[in-house]
Amino acid sequence: MDRVRDCMEDLVSAIKESDAYQNFKDAEERVTSVPGLEEKIREYCWKNYELQTSDVEDMYECMEAFEDEYREFRKNPVVADYLESELRMCRMLQEINAKITNALELMI
């Protein structure tokens, strides 16, 4: 288990050194420097999550209404940069998880 822990620490260090993580942290810092923006982004993300995990019949119309509601908000360069960098981080972590899960042939 010591080797696994060591490798895990190396992986965490590699992630922290990655461009994706550095860009995310920079974007996060810009968001927190604008009063109230972090809360608005969390609200946006939560509503997006709720919509995507709901089983509404007219998903297309709901997504259009959601996009219309937040179109101007997403034009804010600080918001757009944060959401893009967050997406890159999520994709990197998903890829890492998938690689481990597939390599170990886990049925999760």
Q: What is the pLDDT of residues 64-98, one digit of tens each?
A: 999 999 999 999 999 999 999 999 999 999 999 99
Indicate the fold that domain 2-103 takes in CATH: YheA-like fold (1.20.1500)
Per the prediction, the chain carries an average pLDDT of 95
**What CA–CA distance (Å, rounded) separates 61 from 92?**
30
Domain boundaries along the sequence of the chain: 2-103
Q: Is 2 exposed, middle or buried (0-12, 13-18, 19+ CB in 10 A)?
A: exposed
Burial 51-66 (b: 16+ CB within 10 A, else e): eeeeeeeeeeeeeeeb
Q: What is the pLDDT of residues 1-52, one digit of tens each?
A: 899 999 999 999 999 999 999 999 999 999 999 999 999 999 999 999 999 8
